[in-house]
Amino acid sequence: MFKNFFSLTISLIITLLVFAGCDQSNNDNNNNNQNFDIVKSSLERDNDPATTTGQISQLVQGNTDFNFDLYTQVISEEEGNIFYSPYSISIALAMTSAGTANNTLTQMEDAMNFYLGQSELHPAFNALDLDMQNLGTGDPDEFQLNIANAIWGQAGYSFEQDFLDTIGLNYGSGLNLLDFATDPEAARLTINQWVEDQTEDKIQNLLQEGTITPYTVLVLTNAIYFKADWKEVFPTDLTTPGTFNNQDGSQSTVDMMNIEHTYPYYEGSNYQAVELPYKGDDVSMMVILPAASEFDNVEQSLDASFINTIVQNETDSNMILTMPKFSFEYELGLNDILVAMGMADAFDSSLADFSNINPQDSLYITDVVHKAFVAVDEKGTEAAAATAVVVGNTSVPAVSVNMNRPFIFLIRDKVSGTILFFGRVSTLN
């Protein structure tokens, strides 16, 4: 058997939430280097959380609804290519919700579509995360999906034990102690180094100077690293220059990959949808290609039921698929977006209630930063040999899908239905 060297790499999704106290005084403890102490709950992570199938379904449904609410906000302000991880944002804010109370918690649960109460929400995220660790083939050369959480707190600051227990029990994270108060720059560099380590140096200097201040009390981080081989190789010898029709009406010459193969396929009234599985067949990329001049109409119709219609009605169809190679980085500031989605109190120093982190201090969120990178590329010369088997298929294609114009794509866990990554390609250079 020839080895498939074609891979899709989504390297790094990071979500950071930076908290500050309104009148937080400086501490004398100093930690100027990258060595830090860790405060952990006495509770080990629960590797067998007591959750039901119904609870997992509600969690996934809520995360999916949040994705499309978020996407609606993003496209109202953003042009061009978009890429982010709704799952990363959801899990980071779920950890944060463990520290909230009263109206701040209610607003967060409504904005994030957390349909489960706190007692069920965190174990459900834990169970879903543990299930995802079993996706793929088990061979890291073929499939990787790594999710990491880290929490960074001010040394000497008093954090509620219940908050630490919830994070330790359900997210497997202790509290890394830094000295934001006397050396915020050293703390920033330490967190940035963790980001680099988790993403194989794909993302550097994520936290810009000034993001961490002497008033910072807590930073929550989540990173997702995904790398997987297509189940079926795109023959490198069939990759040729082609025209991509950008959303602004211009045209670009890009490398277009081609393959004749059988994929799950559905055709709506004004779009085509193809699902491309990765090795292991647990995760796939779904590509939604609107008809010419129909991109805006399709984009505005996107919601959970739209995706469900595709999943429930797609059938295996032999096709000629043409797809561009692409890569880009995307950064998303979430403060204003989350406020617009109804989470205003969390960002207001006079209204925020994070009393479950510390009841004596007035904590509020100062920044939510999200950054993502995606690359679809061919690697290795053996891929062409592997594709000889596929090209040898002599059946007559029933479908032709040519992604030579803007399209939407998502990467989803087919087992649970969780959308891991979501984006659109509107312009290629």
Instruction: Flag whether pLDDT at 168 surpasses 50.
Output: yes
Quote the pLDDT of residue 378.
Answer: 40
What's the mean pLDDT in 173-181? Answer: 86
Backbone angles phi, psi at 357, to 5 degrees: -95, -50
Q: Find residue 129's DSSP bridge partners.
A: none
250 or 12, higher pLDDT: 250
d(CA 201, CA 208): 16
Instruction: Flag whether pLDDT at 381 surpasses 60.
Output: no
Neighbours of 393 (CB within 10 A): 13
Contact assessment for residue 315 and residue 226, using Cβ atoms and an 8 Å cutoff? no
Q: Residue 257 belongs to what H/E stretch?
A: strand 251-267
How far CA 160 is from CA of 181, 183, 216, 416, in Å, comes to: 19, 24, 17, 33
- Residues 85-135 have pLDDT tens digits of 899 889 889 998 999 999 999 999 999 999 999 999 999 999 999 998 898
Neighbours of 294 (CB within 10 A): 16
pTM assigned to the model? 0.88
Backbone angles phi, psi at 362, to 5 degrees: -100, 90
Instruction: Flag whether pLDDT at 230 surpasses 60.
Output: yes
Instruction: Flag whether pLDDT at 2 surpasses 80.
Output: no
Contact assessment for residue 372 and residue 89, using Cβ atoms and an 8 Å cutoff? no
- Please, what sign has the CA dihedral across residues 119, 121, 122, 127? positive
Instruction: Flag whether pLDDT at 39 surpasses 80.
Output: no
Q: Highest-confidence range of 117-126, 192-201, 224-233, 400-409, by mean pLDDT?
A: 117-126
d(CA 311, CA 138): 25
Neighbours of 412 (CB within 10 A): 23
Quote the pLDDT of residue 373.
Answer: 80
- Residues 328-373 have pLDDT tens digits of 888 888 889 999 999 999 988 889 999 998 888 888 888 888 888 8
| Domains of the chain as residue ranges with CATH | 7-228+328-374 (3.30.497.10), 234-324+389-425 (2.30.39.10)
Residue 424 has, within 13 A of its CA and on its CB side, a CA count of 26
Quote the pLDDT of residue 387.
Answer: 14
Q: Alpha-carbon Rg of the chain, whole angstroms?
A: 23
Share of the chain above pLDDT 70, in %: 85
Nearest to 146 by CA among 29, 252, 10: 10
Instruction: Flag whether pLDDT at 238 surpasses 90.
Output: yes
Quote the pLDDT of residue 429.
Answer: 83
Backbone angles phi, psi at 389, to 5 degrees: -65, -45
Quote the pLDDT of residue 19.
Answer: 56
Instruction: Flag whether pLDDT at 313 surpasses 50.
Output: yes
